[in-house]
Amino acid sequence: MSHRRKILITSALPYANGPIHLGHLVEYIQTDIWARFQKMRGNECYYVCADDAHGTPIMLRAQAEGITPEELIARVSEEHQADFAGFNIQFDHYHSTNSPENKHFASYIYNQLNDKGHISRKTIKQFYDPEKEMFLPDRFIKGTCPKCKAEDQYGDNCEACGATYSPTELIDPKSAVSGATPVEKETDHLFFELSHFEKNAQRLDAPRSPANPNRQQVGRMV
C-alpha cells in the first residue's frame, strides 16, 4: 500500500423506540465486513454508530409503557448492543444521540452556523393536539384522503392511492395520539440555509482531477 488511509465509517443510526430487525442487520453486517477488510489492509479505520434517541415516537412509546423516555432509551440501547454483539458486529464506538458529547457538538455547530447567518427563522402553521398539548408530526395525524376519500390515512400520504399532500388537506383530521381534532397553530421553525453551501457541495461531488487532487470521498463505499 502506498499510504495508510484514514477512514471513518458509520451506518444509519437505529431508532431507539424498538428492537433491531433483520432489515437493519443487513446494513450493519455489510458495513462490518467492509470495516474489517479496511483494517486488515492496514488502514486506520473506525466504525462508529449510536442509537437515535430523539423524536416523538420515543416519547409516545415511553408514555404508553409508563416509563420515562430516558428509561426507554437506556433499555433499548442495551437490547440493540446485545443484538449487534450476537451477530459479531464490532463497532469501535457505540453511543447515543442523547449524550453530553452530542449536545455539545450539536450546539457548537448550530451556534457557528447561526452566528454566520446560515440559519433562518420562519413562522409556519402546524397541527396541534389540544388534549395532549403538543405539535403533531405528519405521521401522527390521520384522516380521509382528499383525493380518493380512503379513510384512516396518514397526514402526509395515502396508502390507498399513493397521493401526497399536506396534513391540512386531510378531510376530518384526527390526532393519532389522542383522537382529538387537531387545531392549526403558528410555530417558529429554524431552517438551515443549505443553498449557501451549494458550491462546497458541488466541489465535494466533482470528479477527482489534477485540478482537484484532494477531493474527499463522502458517503461512498469505494
Q: How far is the CB of 129 from Zn ion (least distance, A)?
A: 23
192, 119 contact by CB (below 8 A): yes
CA distance 73 to 32: 24
Count the neighbouring beta carbons within 10 Å of the beta carbon of residue 45: 20
Kindly give, in sequence order, each residue whose CB lies less than 8 Å from that of residue 146, ignoring residues fewer than 6 positions away: 163, 165, 169, 170, 171
Bridge partners, 121 (sequence order): 190
Nearer to Zn ion, 110 or 154 (CB): 154
**DSSP 8-state code for residue 139:** G
Q: How far is the CB of 176 from Zn ion (least distance, A)?
A: 17
Catalog residues that contact Zn ion under the rule CB under 5 A.
145, 147-148, 150, 158, 160-161, 163
CA distance 34 to 89: 11
Nearer to Zn ion, 9 or 163 (CB): 163
Nearer to Zn ion, 49 or 158 (CB): 158
47, 32 contact by CB (below 8 A): yes
Q: How far is the CB of 159 from Zn ion (least distance, A)?
A: 8
Nearer to Zn ion, 172 or 198 (CB): 172
Q: How far is the CB of 127 from Zn ion (least distance, A)?
A: 19
